[in-house]
Chains A and B, each alone.
Chain A
Amino acid sequence: MQRIKFFDHLILMLGAAVLVLPVLVAFMSSTHAAAEIHARGLFLTPGAEGVATYTKVLTQKGGFTGEVTGARMAMNSLILGLGFALGKIALSMMAAYGLVYFRFRFATPIFWMIFTTLLLPLEVRIMPSYQVMSTLGALNSYWGLIVPLLASATGTFYFRQFFKSVPDELLEAARIDGAGPWRFFLGVLVPLSRPMMAAIFIIMFVYGWNQYLWPMLMTTDERFFTLLRGIKSILQVWIGAQIPDYNEAFALAVLAMLPPLGVVLAFQRLFIKGLTESDK
């Protein structure tokens, strides 16, 4: 048994090292000066420029207009991530509630229609979506960034399966206890779904946070730039003899990893529970 355990740990540690190494390299490199990185490649040892670099990316105003800071971009990303996650949870819970608890015509075909949209990624419908939002005058706005991506087949599917596993007697007991559709939803289903909501929240927050193509299309105003676009624009300045600010790009990348990491850490227990447990 001991031997097997030893190898288990070895494999896990190797796997962890492989996953952690690039992050470590990014972090270490971000503490060196740009010229140093350009001349000597990436680093695995800490440098002396760390504090200066991070202060700079968070506070220095950059971009064409000279009024976008790293903090501003982080906030935009956060708004996008949170808006996505919360909006998707609310919308898909309500959709699933309708599909599972209300008998209406074509409920099953409607569900399968929603389900098949899983097969259509954003990229496929990006032009029509852009057209619609542009006509609505929603370019360069938060709601234009968030609303078109709110419908979530994944979320609806998960919540539908979850609601179906809730025993019918709970609904019946609630009916005898005088709870109408809203009260049953808010008083029983929503609290019961907490682990599921946490699981979806993590997935959707990371998804929203990492959006690149859609924000790039929807926003031309630098005030709405997200962190990921910020990283890209730092690396785009390689004109003539100018060296891109590698250290700043690395610093932004490291910063961009922190909120999703925080979300996962905060919700991981609920997350695992949501995906595995069916204690009702």
Chain B
Amino acid sequence: MMAGLTLKNVGKTYAGGVQAVAGVDLEVADGEFIVLVGPSGCGKSTLLRMVAGLEEISEGEVAIGGRVVNRLEPAARDIAMVFQNYALYPHMSVRQNMEWGLKNARLPAPEIARRVAEAARMLELGPYLDRKPRALSGGQRQRVAMGRAVVREPAAFLFDEPLSNLDARLRVTMRGEIRRLQRRLGTTALYVTHDQLEAMTLADRLVVLNGGRIEQVGRPLEVYHRPASTFVAGFIGAPAMNLLDAVVAEGRLVLAGVDLGPAARAEGPVTLGLRAEDLHLAGAGNGLCVALDYVEELGSGRIAHGFIEGQPIAVALAPGAPLGAEIHVRPARAGLHLFDPITGARLPDLPEVAAALRAGALA
């Protein structure tokens, strides 16, 4: 079944005039995995719940598989949802949990049995079918919740922070399972998370939301390498992109008195974005001087946190000898991102950056 998802100018205004979501336009292709990501309160869950039919749509139009569903009950929208706390029916066995929705839809018994067996096999739930949810571990409950979604054979899966209740290790495992399952079934998926790493690793395309509006839509690497605003730059990536106050003077980009090369831009202040891994050590007296604050050892590398003339900065370094009180770094030319200091919007790329982006794997 071909089932894309279309959101047209979707908005949500709560009683009392609070606007949670505004003017969201999104076109999701069939089988695509879309992750809605943003800090808490950005409206990502509200948006998902509007698609699910659990929240009324105040403005705009939501279409699933080409059919406008604004006025349909959740059950009639051909979707399945996985909740953060799983929302399994505690008094029903795993099997009954999966069957219930199908029974309510009056599917013939052999069909129900076939679907449950198939889902149990796929999710390795066979041994637990007759257990109650309380007798299962967190990861197993998570799988049951997915099983309950899978048996519906929906046009779209909706995930509302499904991994937040799991411990870090299980989260990585389940992340992989969700991705594999979705690929295998080829079902369109809309996934909400506040975890940018989860968003990066799962998504075909990311939707970064801020204050109820879309900041940027794009493939994960595209968003990572070419953030559309200082908000996205600061949200995606760990450590977040360094954002520093710099100036363009006489056609040169200047940060903390150091000339970083030509910049054919309007003269005046700019916000300079620098990824931690685009900064490289330079000899003493050469490049930007960073007064070190502390160093995070990650084993495979280390992140040095410090200040350039009072502005905080993080530098990713290879493991090695202990560092002194100061280090000197020089940014890669292709890693200079310029943003408007007032609106936060991305300014046209420097020629070297544009070239690198064209040549890079992300193109």
Contacts and interface: CB of A to CB of B under 8 A. Distances in A.
Interface of A: 167, 169-170, 172-179, 183, 187-188, 191-192, 194, 279-280
B91 A175 contact: no
B1 to A, nearest CB: 18
Nearest to B158: A176
Given A177-B104, A279-B134, A172 B91 contact: no
Given A179-B104, A183-B104, A173 B87 contact: yes
Contact of A176 (B80, B85, B89): B80
B139 interface: no
Interface residues of B, number: 23
Given A167-B85, A169-B85, A176 B101 contact: yes
Contacts of B81: 172-173, 176
A165 to B, nearest CB: 12
B105 interface: yes
A191 to B, nearest CB: 4
B73 A175 contact: yes
Contacts of B231: none
26 contacts: A167-B85, A170-B87, A172-B74, A173-B81, A173-B88, A173-B89, A174-B89, A175-B53, A175-B73, A175-B74, A176-B74, A176-B75, A176-B81, A177-B148, A178-B73, A178-B75, A178-B101, A178-B105, A179-B104, A188-B91, A191-B91, A192-B90, A194-B91, A279-B90, A279-B134, A280-B90
Contacts of A175: 53-54, 73-75
A187 B100 contact: yes
Nearest to A179: B104
A167 B91 CA distance: 14
B192 interface: no
A182 to B, nearest CB: 11
Contacts of B85: 167, 169
> Ordered nearest first, which 10 A-B pairs have the shortest CB separation?
A177-B101, A178-B75, A169-B87, A178-B104, A173-B87, A191-B91, A169-B83, A176-B74, A175-B74, A172-B54
Among A176, A178, A280, which residue has the most Cβ atoms of chain B within 10 A?
A176
Contacts of A183: 104
A188 B90 CA distance: 9
Contacts, number: 59
Nearest to A172: B54
B52 interface: yes
Given A173-B148, A179-B75, 15 more contacts: A169-B85, A172-B83, A176-B52, A176-B53, A176-B80, A176-B81, A176-B101, A177-B101, A178-B73, A178-B104, A179-B100, A187-B100, A192-B90, A194-B91, A280-B90
Nearest to B80: A176
A273 to B, nearest CB: 13
A176 B79 CA distance: 8
A30 B88 CA distance: 55
Nearest to B52: A176
Contacts of A194: 91
A172 B87 contact: yes
A169 B104 CA distance: 18
A175 B52 CA distance: 10
A187 B99 CA distance: 13
A279 B90 CA distance: 9
A277 B87 CA distance: 18
Contacts of B101: 176-178
A179 B89 CA distance: 13
A116 to B, nearest CB: 29
A167 B160 CA distance: 15
Contacts of A188: 89, 91
Interface string B75-108: 1000111011101111100000000110011000
B65 to A, nearest CB: 16
